Amino acid sequence: PETPVFWINGLAGTGKSTLAQTIAQWCEDVGFLGASFFCARDGERSNVQLIFPTIAHQLGSICGAFRDHVSEAVKANPDIHGSLVSRQLQKLIVEPLRAVKGAGNQPFPECAVVIDALDECKDNEAVSVILRALSSYVSAIAPLKFVITSRPVQQVTSGFQLRELVQNTQQF
pLDDT at 103: 64
As a whole-number percent, the residues of the chain with pLDDT over 90 amount to 69
pLDDT greater than 90 at residue 69: yes
Q: Give the separation between CA 24 and CA 152, rounded to whole angstroms.
A: 21
Q: What is the largest CA-CA distance in the chain?
A: 46
State the pTM of this model: 0.92
Nearest to 24 by CA among 107, 131, 101, 111: 111
Q: Residues 100-140: pLDDT tens digits?
A: 987 666 788 999 999 999 988 776 666 778 899 999 999 99
DSSP one-letter string for 133-145: HHHHHGGG-TTEE
The amino acid occupying position 11 is: L
pLDDT at 42 over 70: yes
